[in-house]
């Protein structure tokens, strides 16, 4: 039986592939398997050491003590990863993708990658971006203090290294993942003082019309089980607002309002989380059009029925196409691969549509109930748009909310001018941590919808590369052609 | 249709809201003219806002030196001129010789400049080079320093000039694209995506799009649209004060106060002036990386955070087009700065305003006349 070939140096790369897939989470793994099944030459590029993405991180490694805590949904990733590793694809793990652009000559795309400290350009006729999600920024006073981190970051350490936080832990925020993380930490033996739920009670009204679909959805069972487990095992405080992390040089306590009264809880670790948003850095830098999603309160790429973006030959699957969860991600990956196989002439329209029909049906089933979650878990405005002027918005460049508001008053009309003006979004994170906040702040200050304000234009390298890596890229035109063709 | 708005008919319409258009608007407004700036995107969106920010008299074409010296004087009092220091700092610029042969050429250049009466460029030996730029590779034998030179923050500078012009009464319309130009009875009608505007004088400061404006006025030029690329590193320990440039290989190099290092030098990506997009050429950026790797060993472990390109106009002889149209009264050109126009912004605006107001200037700009690209006699192709 065929199996995935590991690529560990640039020299092992083919000059060109039919399809390059960025990301080996559920969407990328499913897309690779599907595409290989249609006879495409496939390259999968992923920055992690093994397949699984964020949700199924380290899925192929034998369960370390404590990993049982991750729950049954986590282990659903195992067969997906096994199928992927059995598919005849090239798989470059531990690889950074730092650029995607239309090729200079002919059709197709040029992808900048770094493998084992050396950079190369790889050509692909079709590209599927399966770059997943990242946590929504949570800009509250003190969020940059040592001892404050994102709940997702802590989960990554748990999954990758079995690290369980020491000391008193407080979780704060909203969203379905927060409860999952809480349950995982409790099961792993963390000392959680409290979960501060910031879900605004007003969200009930907005979410109610979507309740019937939710009650009939697969989310319900999962959600109730989680809530039940979490409630039973830790102190959950609801209706929390105005969170701030306090401490002199490092976190000492978290301060918050509950029912109009201020409270303080001493803690050693504060884990913040208020949902995830699509990681669109690479698609944005590649010029894919994107729109503001009024419900999920984030930018999502503009896609057709086959998840193809406004840039022909670049499809976006998984949570990077809009948050829908791991099981939907795999289905979207499959559909995107079917679309790519069709565009490359490996399938005709009839084969494509019949192959896709059951996948679409399953995707529709998985999507039921999503609207309820999206409305119910919309994060509170003061936790997205910091009301205090001295709250940091751009962590890399230490730009505060007050500076941004002052710049808008000064005539700065959009995030790109803001970037040029204040450097927010110019640091190593490339605006991952401040982009949404900046757009929403400008929108609010100008009284316009975020869609009219637009997003930061991101610049490659989407992930930093070293000068030495870049210098290792073949330089002469002839050498470049030999590599890119 | 006419849409001159509340301000009434302007005296001057400036097409293009880059540093040059905004500077001409400012200097015209300072002379009491009513000015309207038409900008198809937003001021500073392209080359003016995203360039390397070098404020350099050093290593210029001799034809540009007088204008550059004039402009430098304005940079040194920019805060007084526009109520904002534009992030301007004056730590000098150094042209590094990589070989003895290059240094010999530099010696000749400085001598010629001195003969012309310009003393801003000084030849330096290896000792002074190592004092100014301790991190430079041991193999470099000397160079030229221009001590009054420096750098500014491009977008901030362009915005500051624009705002000062507005304070003095200029109007700036964003998102307004010029469609046609026509002149009748001494008045230009500029048809745009937002209606028509009229004025007796038009300044074409449309940067990469200036060739289209010139063509609309029946005066086509061999303008090439280019996308000079830049990249910037993460914050590094402070190791260099002046801006450093090379001649033989393409490199410009500048460390900002925050520690980030800007690497440029004129390698070009692929521009698309219709969509405002640029596509980077990583093989050429890799050449820049290789050059830095060799000239500044201290930079080898640095991480590249971001690379980008601005959309700019280049002329075949790499010097700009500045001055009156050869074919139409009331039309002035100010474009084609060929990727080194940022420093010239303040001075060129002053010269344009002087030309428009008085019909002449003492600053030598004859080398920049548009007629150098028009080989047929101008009168035979005069506008109707």
Nearest CA in chain A to B87: A421
The position carrying tokens 């490339």 is: A430
Q: Do B155 and A417 touch (CB under 8 A)?
A: yes
Sort B287 into a burial class: Cβ within 10 Å, 0-12 / 13-18 / 19+: buried
* Cross-strand pairs, A168: A191
Q: What pLDDT score was predicted for residue A209?
A: 86
Buried b (16+ CB within 10 A) or exposed e, A41-57: bbbbbbbbebbbbbbbb
Q: Do A461 and B299 touch (CB under 8 A)?
A: no
Q: What pLDDT score was predicted for residue A71?
A: 72
Which tokens hold the place of A93?
């793990």
- A483 pLDDT band, cuts 50/70/90, is very low
Q: What pLDDT score was predicted for residue B376?
A: 61
pLDDT tens track for A286-333? 999 999 999 999 999 999 999 999 999 999 999 999 999 989 999 999
Residue A414 Cα, gap to closest chain B Cα (Å): 10
- B290 pLDDT band, cuts 50/70/90, is very high
* DSSP three-state, residue B244: strand
Nearest CA in chain A to B287: A475
Picking from B63, B342, B10, B47, the residue whose alpha carbon sits closest to that of residue B210 is: B47
* Range of weakest confidence among A20-24, A108-112, A190-194, B103-107: A190-194
Q: Do A104 and B279 touch (CB under 8 A)?
A: yes
pLDDT tens track for A378-424? 999 999 999 999 999 999 889 999 999 999 998 889 999 898 888 88
Higher-confidence residue: A227 or A198? A198
Percentage of residues in chain B having pLDDT higher than 90:
90
- What would the mean pLDDT of A27-32 be, rounded to a whole number? 97
For residues A268 and A251, the answer to whether their CB atoms sit within 8 Å is yes
The position carrying tokens 């208020």 is: A274
- Output the CA torsion sign for B100, B104, B107, B109: negative
Nearest CA in chain A to B50: A420
Residue B29 Cα, gap to closest chain A Cα (Å): 20
- Interface probe for B, chosen from A121, A281, A467, A481 (most Cβ of B below 10 Å), is A467
Higher-confidence residue: A408 or A157? A408
For residues A322 and A300, the answer to whether their CB atoms sit within 8 Å is yes
Whether B249 contacts chain A with CB within 8 A: no
Q: Is the pLDDT score of A477 beyond 80?
A: no
Picking from A305, A315, A251, the residue whose alpha carbon sits closest to that of residue A283 is: A315
Which tokens hold the place of B145?
């320093």
Q: What pLDDT score was predicted for residue B352?
A: 98
Whether B296 contacts chain A with CB within 8 A: no
> Could you report how far apart the first and last alpha carbons of chain A are, in Å?
31
Q: What pLDDT score was predicted for residue B314?
A: 97
Nearest CA in chain A to B43: A417
* Range of weakest confidence among A43-47, A120-124, A215-219: A215-219
Q: How open is the CA angle A350-A351-A356, to the nearest 5 degrees?
A: 100
* DSSP three-state, residue A271: strand
- A69 pLDDT band, cuts 50/70/90, is low
The structure's pTM equals: 0.90
For residues A467 and B289, the answer to whether their CB atoms sit within 8 Å is yes
Which tokens hold the place of A167?
């000391």
* Strand spans (E) along A152-221: 168-174, 191-197
- What would the mean pLDDT of B121-149 be, rounded to a whole number? 95
- A55 pLDDT band, cuts 50/70/90, is confident
Residues 164-203 of B with CB under 8 A from A: none
Nearest CA in chain B to A111: B282
Higher-confidence residue: A55 or A68? A55
Picking from B314, B321, B333, B315, the residue whose alpha carbon sits closest to that of residue B366 is: B321
Nearest CA in chain A to B269: A104
Interface pTM (ipTM) of the complex? 0.86
Higher-confidence residue: A153 or B123? B123
Residue A479 Cα, gap to closest chain B Cα (Å): 9
Q: Do A480 and B308 touch (CB under 8 A)?
A: no
For residues B254 and B92, the answer to whether their CB atoms sit within 8 Å is no
Residue B97 Cα, gap to closest chain A Cα (Å): 22
- A1 pLDDT band, cuts 50/70/90, is very low
Percentage of residues in chain A having pLDDT higher than 90:
66
Chain A residues in contact with B49 by the CB 8 A cut-off are: 420
Residue A62 CA, chain-centre distance (Å), reads: 25
Chain-wide mean pLDDT for chain A?
Answer: 90
Q: Do A471 and B286 touch (CB under 8 A)?
A: yes
Q: Is the pLDDT score of A72 beyond 90?
A: no
d(CA A313, CA B348): 45
Q: What pLDDT score was predicted for residue B377?
A: 52
d(CA B238, CA B258): 8
Residue B187 Cα, gap to closest chain A Cα (Å): 32
Q: Is the pLDDT score of A370 beyond 90?
A: no
Chain-wide mean pLDDT for chain B?
Answer: 93
Q: Return the C-alpha torsion angle A151, A157, A160, A161, nearest 10.
A: -150
The position carrying tokens 């559920």 is: A26
- B5 pLDDT band, cuts 50/70/90, is very low
Q: What pLDDT score was predicted for residue B104?
A: 97
Higher-confidence residue: A173 or A260? A173
Q: What pLDDT score was predicted for residue A470?
A: 94
Q: Do A459 and B307 touch (CB under 8 A)?
A: yes
């Amino acid at each position: 039986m065929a199996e995935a070939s590991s690529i560990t140096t640039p020299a092992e790369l083919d000059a060109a592939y039919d399809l390059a897939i960025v990301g080996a989470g559920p969407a990328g793994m499913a897309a690779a398997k599907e595409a290989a099944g249609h006879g495409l030459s496939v390259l999968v590029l992923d920055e992690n050491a093994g397949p699984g993405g964020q949700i199924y991180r380290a899925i192929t490694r034998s369960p370390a003590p404590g990993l049982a805590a991750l729950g049954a949904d986590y282990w659903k990733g195992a067969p997906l990863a096994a199928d992927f590793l059995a598919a005849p694809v090239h798989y470059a793990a531990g690889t950074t993708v730092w650029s995607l652009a239309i090729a200079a000559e002919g059709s197709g795309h040029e992808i900048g990658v770094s493998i084992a400290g050396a950079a190369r350009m790889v050509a692909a006729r079709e590209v599927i971006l399966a770059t997943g999600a990242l946590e929504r920024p949570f800009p509250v006073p003190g969020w940059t203090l040592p001892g404050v981190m994102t709940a997702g970051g802590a989960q990554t350490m748990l999954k990758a290294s079995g690290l369980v936080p020491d000391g008193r832990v407080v979780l704060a925020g909203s969203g379905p993942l927060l409860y999952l993380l809480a349950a995982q930490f409790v099961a792993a033996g963390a000392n959680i003082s409290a979960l501060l739920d910031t879900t605004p009670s007003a969200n009930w009204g907005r979410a109610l019309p979507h309740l019937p679909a939710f009650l009939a959805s697969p989310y319900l069972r999962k959600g109730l089980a989680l809530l039940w487990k979490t409630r039973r095992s830790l102190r959950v405080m609801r209706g929390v607002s105005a969170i701030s992390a306090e401490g002199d040089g490092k976190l000492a306590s978290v301060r918050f309002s509950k029912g109009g009264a201020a409270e303080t809880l001493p803690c050693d670790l504060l884990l913040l989380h208020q949902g995830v948003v699509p990681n669109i850095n690479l698609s944005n830098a590649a010029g894919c059009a994107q729109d503001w999603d009024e419900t999920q309160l984030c930018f999502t790429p503009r896609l057709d029925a086959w998840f193809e973006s406004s840039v022909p030959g670049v499809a976006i699957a998984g949570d990077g196409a809009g948050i829908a969860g791991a099981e939907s991600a795999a289905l979207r990956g499959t559909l995107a691969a079917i679309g790519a196989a069709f565009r490359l002439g490996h399938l005709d329209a009839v084969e494509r549509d019949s192959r896709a029909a059951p996948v679409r049906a399953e995707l529709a089933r998985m999507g039921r109930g999503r609207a309820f979650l999206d409305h119910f878990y919309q994060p509170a405005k003061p936790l997205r748009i910091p009301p205090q002027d001295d709250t940091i918005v751009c962590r890399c460049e230490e730009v505060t909310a007050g500076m941004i508001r002052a710049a808008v008053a000064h005539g700065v009309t959009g995030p790109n001018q803001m970037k040029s003006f204040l450097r927010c979004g110019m640091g190593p994170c490339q605006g991952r941590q401040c982009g949404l906040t900046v757009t929403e702040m400008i929108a609010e200050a100008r009284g316009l919808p975020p869609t009219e304000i637009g997003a930061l234009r991101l610049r490659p390298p989407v992930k930093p590369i070293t000068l030495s890596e870049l210098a290792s890229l073949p330089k002469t035109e002839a050498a470049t052609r030999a590599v890119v063709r | 249709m006419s849409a001159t708005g509340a301000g009434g008919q302007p005296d001057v319409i400036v097409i293009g809201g880059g540093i040059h258009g905004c500077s001409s608007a400012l200097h015209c407004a300072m002379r009491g003219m009513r000015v309207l700036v038409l900008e198809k995107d937003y001021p500073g969106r392209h080359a003016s806002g995203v360039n390397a920010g070098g404020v350099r008299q050093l290593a210029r074409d001799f034809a540009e030196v007088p204008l550059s010296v004039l402009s430098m004087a304005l940079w040194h009092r920019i805060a007084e001129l526009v109520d904002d220091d534009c992030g301007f700092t004056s730590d000098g610029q150094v042209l590094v010789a990589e070989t003895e042969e290059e240094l010999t050429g530099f010696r000749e250049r400085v001598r010629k400049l001195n003969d012309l009466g310009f003393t801003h460029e000084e030849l330096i030996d290896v000792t002074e080079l190592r004092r100014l730029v301790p991190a430079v590779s041991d193999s470099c034998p000397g160079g030229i320093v221009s001590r009054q030179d420096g750098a500014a923050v491009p977008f901030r500078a362009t915005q500051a000039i624009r705002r000062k012009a507005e304070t003095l009464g200029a109007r700036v319309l964003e998102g307004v694209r010029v469609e046609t130009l026509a002149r009748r009875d001494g008045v230009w009608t500029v048809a745009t995506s937002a209606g028509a505007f009229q004025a007796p004088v038009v300044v074409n400061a449309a940067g990469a799009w200036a060739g289209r404006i010139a063509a609309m006025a029946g005066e086509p030029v061999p303008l090439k649209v280019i996308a000079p690329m830049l990249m910037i590193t993460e914050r590094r320990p402070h190791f260099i004060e002046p801006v450093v440039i090379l001649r033989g290989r393409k490199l410009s190099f500048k460390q900002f106060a925050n520690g980030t290092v800007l690497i440029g030098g004129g390698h070009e990506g692929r521009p698309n002036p219709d969509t405002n997009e640029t596509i980077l050429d990583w093989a050429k950026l890799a050449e820049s990386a290789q050059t830095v790797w060799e000239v500044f060993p201290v930079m080898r472990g640095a991480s590249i955070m971001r690379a980008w390109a601005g959309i700019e106009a280049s002329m075949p002889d790499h010097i700009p087009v500045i001055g009156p149209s050869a074919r139409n009264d009331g039309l002035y050109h100010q474009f084609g700065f060929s990727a080194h126009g940022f420093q010239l912004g303040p001075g060129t605006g002053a010269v344009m305003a002087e030309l428009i107001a008085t019909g002449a200037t003492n600053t030598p700009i004859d080398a920049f006349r548009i007629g150098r690209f028009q080989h047929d006699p101008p009168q035979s192709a005069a506008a109707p």
